[in-house]
Structure 1
């Protein structure tokens, strides 16, 4: 495998691990691999095998993103409980409440990007 590809996969794997709030040790333990193997993946020295990625996916890792850099589109089944609760609250709000929620979220998103 090309070194540039391994480095990209390693960087995205680390990003996903950090997004999930996991240490390298706990991440390695997901798939019963050594800490050294996990560190080698993040450094781009090697790449994770499919069996590890399959297990990682069940713990919230976006495997498509790790491999390609393209995020998996969100579906109702892939939402976290917190995200689903937000959508449920939005669905049960009246139109005035929905409009207020859109304004708040729009404002927060602008602050983050600005």
Structure 2
């Protein structure tokens, strides 16, 4: 089996693992379903820039490209809690605009929490 068809086979495995059909995966990454189908059939290979967009939806690029799982996927200490898995599943279902809004909100909440912790530290130490 040539490398392109292995790439396509692995890409399809990753997509199915995420519970997405071709149209859903393509939409989440900003491509047409037709283009996605060509990649899975081994008719074409995406650019490295396009590969990066795959990783944003949870596709293991190292596996798709080389047949080996990324180090983070194999580390038991990095396993997700049930709450994290639920959040990730919901996040993956959002469109790109909503994902950006959610990421911005999470960053905002983190800043607020850090400021509150700093203020508490100053009060209790001061």
TM-score (norm 2): 0.57
RMSD: 2.5
Residue ranges of structure 2 left out of the alignment (5+ in a row): 86-126
Q: How does 1:70-85 map to 2 (within 5 A)?
A: 70-73=68-71, 74-75=74-75, 79-82=79-82
Residue ranges of structure 1 left out of the alignment (5+ in a row): 86-114
Q: Report the number of matched residues.
A: 83
Deviation at 1:61, TM superposition (A): 0.6
Structure with the higher helix share, 1 or 2: 2
Summarize the Cα distance change of 1:63–1:24 in structure 2 as closer, same or farther, 3 Å threshold. same
Q: How does 1:101-112 map to 2 (within 5 A)?
A: none
Q: 2:61 maps to what in 1?
A: 63
Deviation at 1:31, TM superposition (A): 2.0
Query: 46, 49, 74: which is aligned to 1:48?
Result: 46
The structure having more radius of gyration, on CA atoms, is 2
TM-score (norm 1): 0.63
Deviation at 1:56, TM superposition (A): 1.5
